[in-house]
Amino acid sequence: MRILIANANTTQEITELCAAAARSAASPGTEIVPATPRFGPAVISSRAENIIAGHALLELLAEHAGTVDAVVLAVSHDTALEAARQLMPCPVVGMTEAACFAACLVGARFGLVTFGGIETYRERIGQHGLAGRLAGLVGVEATPQETLADPAGVEVKVLAGIMALVAAGADAVVLGGAALAGMAPRLQGRTPVPLLDGIVCAVRMAEMLVGLGLPKPAAGSMAPPEGRASIGLSEPLAAMLRGR
Amino acid sequence: MRILIANANTTQEITELCAAAARSAASPGTEIVPATPRFGPAVISSRAENIIAGHALLELLAEHAGTVDAVVLAVSHDTALEAARQLMPCPVVGMTEAACFAACLVGARFGLVTFGGIETYRERIGQHGLAGRLAGLVGVEATPQETLADPAGVEVKVLAGIMALVAAGADAVVLGGAALAGMAPRLQGRTPVPLLDGIVCAVRMAEMLVGLGLPKPAAGSMAPPEGRASIGLSEPLAAMLRGR
Amino acid sequence: MRILIANANTTQEITELCAAAARSAASPGTEIVPATPRFGPAVISSRAENIIAGHALLELLAEHAGTVDAVVLAVSHDTALEAARQLMPCPVVGMTEAACFAACLVGARFGLVTFGGIETYRERIGQHGLAGRLAGLVGVEATPQETLADPAGVEVKVLAGIMALVAAGADAVVLGGAALAGMAPRLQGRTPVPLLDGIVCAVRMAEMLVGLGLPKPAAGSMAPPEGRASIGLSEPLAAMLRGR
Amino acid sequence: MRILIANANTTQEITELCAAAARSAASPGTEIVPATPRFGPAVISSRAENIIAGHALLELLAEHAGTVDAVVLAVSHDTALEAARQLMPCPVVGMTEAACFAACLVGARFGLVTFGGIETYRERIGQHGLAGRLAGLVGVEATPQETLADPAGVEVKVLAGIMALVAAGADAVVLGGAALAGMAPRLQGRTPVPLLDGIVCAVRMAEMLVGLGLPKPAAGSMAPPEGRASIGLSEPLAAMLRGR
Amino acid sequence: MRILIANANTTQEITELCAAAARSAASPGTEIVPATPRFGPAVISSRAENIIAGHALLELLAEHAGTVDAVVLAVSHDTALEAARQLMPCPVVGMTEAACFAACLVGARFGLVTFGGIETYRERIGQHGLAGRLAGLVGVEATPQETLADPAGVEVKVLAGIMALVAAGADAVVLGGAALAGMAPRLQGRTPVPLLDGIVCAVRMAEMLVGLGLPKPAAGSMAPPEGRASIGLSEPLAAMLRGR
Amino acid sequence: MRILIANANTTQEITELCAAAARSAASPGTEIVPATPRFGPAVISSRAENIIAGHALLELLAEHAGTVDAVVLAVSHDTALEAARQLMPCPVVGMTEAACFAACLVGARFGLVTFGGIETYRERIGQHGLAGRLAGLVGVEATPQETLADPAGVEVKVLAGIMALVAAGADAVVLGGAALAGMAPRLQGRTPVPLLDGIVCAVRMAEMLVGLGLPKPAAGSMAPPEGRASIGLSEPLAAMLRGR
C-alpha cells in the first residue's frame, strides 16, 4: 500500500518530519510517499495562506492521482480536505480530522492543544460536525522557535494545557499543529489521558479506509468533477477537472 | 491480534454470522473470538431489551478482559458502548458507531437504512455527536423473516431506501442492523455511493486503534472503575468493578 | 395513589432516605412504595455500574408492574429511564429529569451541583434535550463520607457552587446525587434562587402525570415490547418482554 | 389553592371554555379563577397581536398578584410567559409549554398539531429549549368556523395530522390552540399515542409547582422588577414595576 | 428618505440621544424622525418592562406607518422587533440586531459588552439565530449614573470587557445598551477590533434595506395582519390590525 | 466609492453580468470595478474548483488592495470569503452571505433556490451560522443552457421551488447562483415573499460597511497576515502575506 503524505506548506523540512512520523506509524508493507507543493506559504498560519495552500495541495494531489492508494494531508488545518476527497479516486484523510475521530473512539469528549490561535481549529472541528464532543481548545503561547530553544519549558506549557482540558472534561487530547508533532510519546507518560498525534492517526485511518475497499462515490457532493473547463492550471489538475 | 466479537443478543446464529463477517474483514494475523451473552433478549428490538443486554454484554466482556486486544460490539444499537469502553483495558468499538465514523471519512453527510424503527438510531447517532452529518434515516418495512423468504424483494426495498437517502444528500449509506449484515457487497454494484457494513468497519477500526497503542485513560469519565462494591454480579464483572 | 420509589443502587439506606424524602413531598393520599434491586452496584459511580443497575432496575420494576400507579427512579443518573418508560404501563419519572424540568418552569436557565464528576450529568441533560437551558455544572470536591464528618464545611462548598452557577446565569439550581438529598431545605435560606431536589420534584411530577390519565402509547418508540424472547431473566421481566 | 386562568385574548368565550377545561382537570380543592384582559386582540393570530396581548396580560396578572397561588396562561402562544414569570410572586405556567414538557415526560420526541400557521409555534418551542425533542409540526387547514360547522370533518383532518406526526417519530402529540381545546378526549381513542391538552397539562403543572413551594428568585433574570419608573400604566402594574 | 428612530422607553432624553447618533450616522438626504412612546417604562431593564414597551412601541409605529421609509428600533433589547416587522409596510431594524449582523460581516465571531445583566441579550442573540457566532458576553458592573460621574473609570471597565472578549475569540465587539451609546468612537482607538454601535449600524442597515426596495411579504409569518378585531387599542394600531 | 466586483470564475461573461447587476444596484457615486481571475475554473461547480478559485480570487484581490473601498465576491459559493476578509484592508462581502443576511432582516426564516446541487450551499449557510434560520433549500433541475433555450419553462420550475419554500415556512427566498442572476425582478411579481439577489444585496451591504468606517482588526482571526513567507505566488499576493 502506498500512502501519499501531502504537505500543504512548502517547507520541505515539515514534509520530512511528517513522513518520518508516518513511517514509524505505518503498518509493515505500507510505503510512505512524501510530497511538498510547488508553490504557496512556507507555513500556513492565516486564513489566506490556507486557501492558497489548498490550491497548491490539489495540484500536488493531481500529480499523484492513480499512483497512490490513499492520501494523508500533512497539515493540521485539514486544508482543502473535502475538495481533495472529492477530487481523488482514493481515500483522503486529514491529520486533525483523523486525530479528532480517533479521540471520539476512545473517550466521550476531547480537547485540542496547539500553538497560537485556536479559532480556526474551533471552526474546523465544527465543520467536521464534532463541536458537541469538543471539551475545549488551548492555544499555548510559544513560538515554534521557542520549541527548539527551550523544548522542556515548552513541554511544561503544553502539559499545563493538557491538564486544563482534562479538568474541563476531556477524555483524550489531540496535539494539533506541526510544531507539536512527535511530542505525544514524550508527554504521554506524564498525562492521565491518551494523546493523539495527527499524522499517526491519519496514517492508521488511511490504512483502515484502504482496507474497507469502498468504491468512489458516483453521485452526491463527493462525486468527482467531470467536464469542467479551466485555464492556467497545471495539466494534471486540469485533466482531473475534465474527468474521463 | 485477538478481537472479541461480542454479541449483545443471545442468539448464537447472529454471533456466528457476525464472526464470519468479521473474519472476512480482518487483516491477516487478526484472530476473531466470537462470544454470546449468558442471558438476555434473543434479539434486541426495544429500549428495555437494550438495557438488559447491556448488563449481559458487560458480564461477557469481563470474562474476556485481558485476553483480547480489542472488542467489537456486534450489535447495531452500540449497546452499552461507553460503559464497555470505560470498563475494558483495551479498545472497544461499536458497529454502528464505526460505520458512521467511516462514512464521515468518505463523504460530507451520510444516511442509515435499517429494518423497522429508526428513532433509537437517531438518538444513538445524536449521542455519538454526529447529528449534524446525518442526511436521513430510512426504516425499511420488512421483517427479518421476509428477508429469508424473499431476499430479492427485500433488497429492492433497501435499494429504494438508499436512493432516497442519496437524494436527501447522503454521500454514503450505513446499513444498520443484523438483518442487513452481508447485504452491502450484493447491493454496492447497484448504488452510486459507498455502503458501509457495521461489522466490517468495526473490525478495521479496532485494528486501527490497537495499532495506535494508546494508553488506558487514568482520569476522566473513561477511567476504569475502582473500589466499587456490588452484589449478585458474576465474579469477573464484580472483580472489574473492584479494580486492582 | 401508589408511587414506587425505585432505587437503582443496592444500598438499602439510600432507598430509605429517598423514601422518606418522597413521603414528605407526597400529597395526602399518595402511598410511597420503596424498592431496592436484588443485584448490582452498591452506589452507581461509573458508566459500567449505571448499565448494570439499569438491568437490575428493570427487573425490580417488572415485579411491581400493575401494582403501582407511577414510578420514581430514585437515582440521580436517571438510570434506564427511557427503557423503564417504555416497559411500564404507568408513568415513570427520573429524579434528575424531574428537577431539571421543574427548573425550566421557574427560570430561563438552570445549573446543577453534584459531588464529583459532572460529565455524565452533562450527557444526561443533553439526552433530555435541555442542553440549551443549562447554565453550568459544578462538581463539588467532597466525598459522601466528608458529608457525614463535616456537613457544615461541605455545605459551604455546595453554596459556593450554587453561587458560581447563579453568577453564570442560573435562575434555579438542581441538587444532583443522593449525597445532596435533603440538603435543599437547609441551604435554601442562604441562596437567592430556588433549589430543586430530585426526589421531591419527581414525586410531584409523578402525581401530576397520574392526574393527567394519559393512555399508554401503542405505537412508536415507547410502545411496550411484545413477543420478545429472552433467556436467563427473572420471570416477571421475561413476561413483560413477551407482552400479552 | 387558587389558580388564575389568564386569557390573553379579549374574547370572553375563550376564557370560559378554558376555565371549564381547567375545572375539569383541577384537583379537588383547587379553585379556578378565570380572567380576561381589558384590552387587546379578540383572538391572537399574528406577531403584533401577541405583543399587544402580552401587555394586556401583564396588566391582568398585576391585578391578581397576591390573591392567587398560581397562574395558567390560557393562550397557546405562551404569550409573555417569561415576563409573567418574572413579574409574579407565584408560579406561572404556559399552556403549550406545559403540554410540551408533559409530552417529554411520556415519550422521546413529540409533535404538535394546530390550526393554521406553525412557524411561531416552532419558534416558541425553540425558545423553550425543546427543539431537539420536536418530531414535527402540522398546521391543519381548517378555520375555527369550520370546526363548528363540520366538527367530524375537521377531526378527520386533525387525526391525519396526528398520524403523520406519529409516522415522523412522535411518541406523543400536543394539541395546540384554543380551537383544538376539548378535542383530546374525543380523539384519544382513535390515536395510538397520548394527546396532550394545554390547559389540562398547565393546571396540573401549576398544582405541582405550588406543591413544591419554591421561593421566588431574588437574583438573576427572574428576580422581580424593583424601583422601575413608568408612565401611563394601570396602577397595579405600575406598582409591581416599582416593587416593594 | 425618512427613518423613524422609535424609542421603546418613555424617556425623552434617550430618544434625543439616539436621534443625534442616528443623524450623525445617516447618509446625506436621510431625515431622522425621533419618536417616544406615550406610555410604558422609563427605561427597560426587566422582562416585564420589555413586553409592556413592546405594545407601546407598536402603538407608536402605527402612528407613523406610511409616513416613513424605514424604522430603527432605538432600544437595545430589539423590543417587539419581529412583530414590528410584520406590522409595518416598511423595513424595520433593531439596533442590537443590526450591530450583531454587521459584526458577522467583519469577523468570524463577535462579543457583546453591556451594563448589568447579560442573560436576556444571550437569549435575544439566540433568537436572532446567531448563537454560533457569539464568542461571549460581558456585563460591566456600572450603573448609568456612574457613567456620568466617572466616565473615564467606566470606560476602563468597558475596555477590560472588550479585551476579555477579544481573548475569548471575538473579532468584533458590539456595544449594547443606551448607556454605551456614543462610547464607540472614544474607545475605538484603544481596542484592536472594530466596535459596533447599535444605532449607527441600524441606520445604515435601514438605508440599505430601503435601497433594496423589497416588497412587503404577502404570505408567511411576516404577512401583515388582516381582519383582526381588537378592543381598547389606539385607533391607528387597531386599524393596522384590521388591515385594508 | 469604488467597489470591486471580483468574480472567482474565469468566465468573463459572468463578470460582466455581475458588474451590470452591481451597477444597477449601486448608489449614485459608487463606481463598480469588475475583475476576473487570471486562472482557475470557468464556472465553479465542485469542491475542488472552489478551492482553486479561492487562490485565484485572492491573487486578484491582492492586485486591487488599496485601490478600492470594498469588495463584493461575485460568486455564489462565497468562495474564500473569510480569507479575503482577513487579507484585505477594506470590507469584503459575499453575494450569498449578503442575500442570506438581508433575508434575515426581512423575515424569520428564509429559503434558497439554486440550480443543481444544494449540499454545498447547506454547508456554506451553516458556516455563516445561519442554519437555524434556514427553512429549506431547493435545487432546480435545469442546466444553465436550458435557461437560455427555454427561459419561461425554467422560470416555472424556479417559481415552483420558491412556492415549496414558502410552504416550508420561508418568509423570503434567496436566488443563489449566477444562472439565477437577474431573475428576481422578473419573478418577484408572481411570488408572495421577497426574492433576494446576491449581487444586489452584496453591493448594498458593501456600501453600508464602507459607511460604517470600521477599522481593520489588529487582533484575532481577522488581523491581516504579517511576515509570512511564500514561494511561487504573484508578487502582490506574496507582498500582502509579508505585510508591512
Q: Which of D91, D106, D200 sits opposite C106 (nearest CB)?
A: D91
Classify strands D230-231 and D195-197 as parallel, antiparallel or unpaired: unpaired
Chain B meets chain E (3+ C-beta pairs below 8 A): no
Q: A86, F58: Cβ pair inside 8 Å?
A: no
Q: What percent of chain A has pLDDT over 70?
A: 100
**Is residue D194 within 8 Å of residue D166, measured between CB atoms?**
no
Report pLDDT digits (tens) over C198-230. 999 999 999 999 999 999 999 999 999 999 999
- Do the chains C and D touch each other, judged by at least 3 C-beta pairs below 8 angstroms? yes
Counting one residue from chain B and one from chain F, the pairs whose CB atoms sit within 8 A come to: 7
Kindly determine whether residue C169 and residue E118, on different chains, have CB atoms separated by under 8 Å: yes
Residue F144 is predicted with a pLDDT of: 67
Q: For residue range A102-141, list pLDDT tens digits in order.
A: 999 999 999 999 998 999 999 999 999 999 999 999 999 9
Quote the mean pLDDT of chain B. Answer: 96
Beta-carbon separation of E220 and F170 below 8 A: yes
Range C160-167 average pLDDT: 98
Q: Among E52, E120, E231, select the one facing D58 at the smallest CB separation.
A: E52
B129 and B110 within one domain: yes
Confidence of residue B144 (pLDDT cuts 50, 70, 90): low
HEC per residue, chain E: CEEEEEECCCCHHHHHHHHHHHHHHCCCCCEEEEECCCCEECCCCCHHHHHHHHHHHHHHHHHHCCCCCEEEEECCCCCCHHHHHHHCCCCEEEHHHHHHHHHHHHCCCEEEEEECCCHHHHHHHHHCCCHHHEEEEEEECCCHHHHHHCHHHHHHHHHHHHHHHHHCCCCEEEECCHHHCCHHHHHHCCCCCCEEEHHHHHHHHHHHHHHHCCCCCCCCCCCCCCCCCEECCCHHHHHHHHCC
pLDDT recorded at residue D144: 67
Question: Pick from C47, C86, C225: which is nearest to B82 by CB?
Answer: C47
CA distance C204 to C181: 16
Note whether C105 contacts D220, CB cutoff 8 Å.
no
For residues A219-224, give the mean pLDDT.
Answer: 96
Residues D193 and D208 in one domain: no
Could A42 and F230 be called an inter-chain contact, meaning their C-beta atoms sit closer than 8 Å? yes
Predicted local confidence at residue B188, as pLDDT: 97
Mean pLDDT (chain C, rounded): 96
Work out the minimum CA distance from C86 to partner chain B, whole angstroms: 7
**B169 CA: distance to closest CA in chain F (Å):** 6
- C89 with C107, same domain: the answer is no
Distance CA E135, CA A107 (A): 26
Give the distance from CA D33 to its chain's centroid.
15
- Residues E72, E118, single domain; the answer is no
pLDDT digits (tens, 9 = 90+) for B202-219: 999 999 999 999 999 999
**Chain-chain contact of B47 with C232 (C-beta, under 8 angstroms):** no
Give me A237's grid cell: 489538475
- Binning pLDDT at 50, 70 and 90, where does residue C144 land? low
Distance from the Cα of F178 to chain B's closest Cα (Å) equals 22
Q: Report chain B residues whose CB lies below 8 A from the CB of A219.
A: 166, 192-193
On whether both A34 and A79 belong to a single domain, the answer is yes
Residues B65 and B154 in one domain: no
The mean predicted confidence, pLDDT, of chain D is: 96
Query: Residues with Cβ < 8 Å from E62, sequence gap 6 or more?
Result: E87, E234, E236, E237, E239, E240
CA distance C10 to chain E (A): 42
Q: In the predicted model, is pLDDT for residue F151 greater than 90?
A: no
In the numeric block, which cell numbers belong to residue E205? 442597515
On average, the pLDDT of chain A sits at 96
**Block residue for cell numbers 484592508:** F89
**For chain F, percent of residues with pLDDT exceeding 70:** 100
Cβ of D169 within 8 Å of Cβ of B118? The answer is yes
F228 pLDDT more than 80: yes
How much of chain B exceeds pLDDT 90, in percent? 92
pLDDT tens across C97-115, in order? 999 999 999 999 999 999 9
* Among the partner residues E54, E117, E229, nearest to D51 by beta-carbon distance: E54
Pair A178, A111 in one domain: yes
pLDDT of residue C142: 84
Q: Looking at the structure, tell me whether residues C24 and C38 fall in a common domain.
A: yes
Counting DSSP H helices and E strands in chain B, the numbers are 10, 10
For residue B107, what is the nearest residue in chain A, using CA coordinates? A222
Alpha carbon of F181: minimum distance to chain D alpha carbons (Å): 29
**Would you say D115 and D139 are in contact if contact means Cβ atoms under 8 Å apart?**
yes
The residue among F119, F123, F124, F137 with the most chain B CBs within 10 A of its CB, best to mutate, is: F119
Size of interface E-F (CB pairs under 8 A): 142
| Across C133-151, average pLDDT | 88
pLDDT of residue A203: 98
Q: Mean pLDDT of all residues in chain F? A: 96
Is E169 in contact with A123 (Cβ distance < 8 A)? no
The answer, yes or no, to whether residue F75 has pLDDT greater than 80, is yes
- Quick check: E105 and F82 CB within 8 A? no
Find the closest chain F residue to E205 by CA distance. F208
Contact A54 F54 (CB under 8 A): yes
**Same domain as A135, residue A15:** no
Interface probe for F, chosen from D119, D137, D141 (most Cβ of F below 10 Å), is: D119
**Residue C78 belongs to domain spanning:** 2-95+201-242
Domain boundary among D197, D214, D230: D197
Same domain, B80 and B108: no
- Residues E64 and E72: their CA atoms lie apart, in Å, by 12
pLDDT of residue A144: 67
Give the CATH number, domain containing residue B210: 3.40.50.12500
- pLDDT over threshold 70, residue F152: yes
Same domain, D176 and D127: yes
Taking only the tens place, the pLDDT of each residue in C20-76 is 999 999 999 999 999 999 999 999 999 999 999 999 999 999 999 999 999 999 999
> Cβ of C169 and E122 within 8 Å?
yes
Angle of helix E12-25 relative to helix E198-212, nearest 10 degrees, comes to 60
User: What number of other Cβ atoms are within 10 A of residue C33's Cβ?
Assistant: 17
Contact D108 B123 (CB under 8 A): yes
Residues of chain F neighbouring B132 (CB-CB closer than 8 A): 126
- How many CB pairs lie under 8 A apart between chains A and F? 142
Neighbours of chain F (3+ CB pairs under 8 A): A, B, D, E
- The number of C-alpha atoms within 13 Å of D135 and in the hemisphere containing its C-beta is 29
Residue C44 sits at φ, ψ, to 5 deg, of -70, 120
The three three-digit cell numbers of residue D221, written as one number = 433574570
| Range B78-101 average pLDDT | 98
pLDDT for residue E144: 67
pLDDT for D244: 72
- Cα D237 off chain centre by: 21
Weakly modelled stretches of chain E, pLDDT under 50: none
Least confident of A79-93, A166-180, C117-131, E191-205: A166-180
Q: How many domains does chain B have?
A: 2
Q: What gap in Å lies between CA C206 and CA C199, rounded to an integer?
A: 10
Same domain, yes or no: D175 and D237: no
pLDDT at residue number C155? 93
Chain D: touching chains (3 or more CB pairs < 8 Å): B, C, E, F
Q: Which chains share 3+ C-beta pairs under 8 angstroms with A?
A: B, C, E, F
Rama region for A11: left / alpha / beta (φ>0; ψ in -120 to 50; rest): beta
Q: Give the pLDDT of residue A143.
A: 75
Q: Which residues of chain E have a CB within 8 Å of the CB of A123?
A: 108
Given pLDDT bands bounded at 50, 70 and 90, which one contains residue F90? very high
Subunit contact E109:A118, Cβ cutoff 8 A: no
pTM: 0.96
- In this prediction, residue B143 carries a pLDDT of 75
- pLDDT for the residue E143: 75
Nearest-Cα distance to chain A for C118, in Å, is 8
- F132 interaction partners in chain D (CB closer than 8 Å): 126
